[in-house]
């Protein structure tokens, strides 16, 4: 699992600033296998839509307090479906 900085961690000897804190709140921790799922899916998305795809996946995962592999798969599929429908 990837370890992300928490609010109590220090950066360069000082506590994380409010801006950095806000940034870290938008990050997700993924296992290696979960990251592979996302990378495999994003390869199927046109380059210009990859940011939208990732934003949709993150937004969907934020609905869960803690998410499982099934939640991630559902979020990826929903994001892909939404992009396919919006292109039609």
The structure's pTM equals 0.66
Tokens of 62: 């934020």
Give the model's confidence band at 85: pLDDT under 50 very low, under 70 low, under 90 confident, else very high. low
Residue bearing tokens 């940011």: 51
Residue 19 has pLDDT above 90, yes or no: no
- pLDDT tens-place string over residues 25-78: 567 888 999 999 999 999 889 888 999 999 899 989 988 878 899 999 999 999
Decide if 81 contacts 53 (C-beta within 8 A): no
Residue 9 has phi, psi (to 5 degrees) of -70, 160
> What pLDDT sits at residue 25?
58
Q: What pLDDT, on the 0 to 100 scale, is given for residue 7?
A: 44
User: Which position has the higher pLDDT, 55 or 8?
Assistant: 55
Question: Three-class SS of residue 14?
Answer: strand
Domain boundaries, the chain: 1-29, 31-87
């Amino acid at each position: 699992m990837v370890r992300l900085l928490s609010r109590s961690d220090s950066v360069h000897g000082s506590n994380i600033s409010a801006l950095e804190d806000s940034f870290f709140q938008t990050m997700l921790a993924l296992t290696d296998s979960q990251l592979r799922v996302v990378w495999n899916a994003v390869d199927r998305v046109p380059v210009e839509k990859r940011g939208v795809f990732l934003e949709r996946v993150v937004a969907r995962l934020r609905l869960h307090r803690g998410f499982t592999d099934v939640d991630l798969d559902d979020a990826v599929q929903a994001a892909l479906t939404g992009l396919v429908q919006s292109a039609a």
